[in-house]
Amino acid sequence: MSTWETVLTIAGLVLITIATRGFFILPERELPMPEWLREGLRYAPIGALVAVIAPELVMSQGRLIGTWMDARLFGAAAATAWFVWRRDMLGTILVGTGVMLIFRMGLGW
């Protein structure tokens, strides 16, 4: 690409980003939204998180894992238990990662 094509591409991406992000920020008053949509959007972040994490936990190289001897399963179980017990996100990450590393490095899973 030439210099002008690069500059034009970057400028276009900036405009698209401002338009899509500004749609929620720029209006002076809150946009009307039906209550059912507002209620449904409350669950969008957890749905997206599950959609990203679940396949990583139960699949390996595009196939379902064939054994329970997988460090990811134990790390996820330990992280879940920690979060239920303490409601602490940093601790959840540290415990889950720590357990997974112990099983991977210690047991070679």
Contact 57, 77 (CB under 8 A): no
Sign of CA dihedral 26, 30, 34, 39: positive
pTM greater than 0.75: no
* Residue 31 pLDDT class (50, 70, 90 cuts): confident
78 touches 91 (CB < 8 A): no
pLDDT tens, position by position, 50-95: 899 899 888 988 899 888 889 999 999 999 999 999 999 999 999 9
Q: Give the up-direction half-sphere exposure of residue 64: CA atoms within 13 A in the CB hemisphere.
A: 3
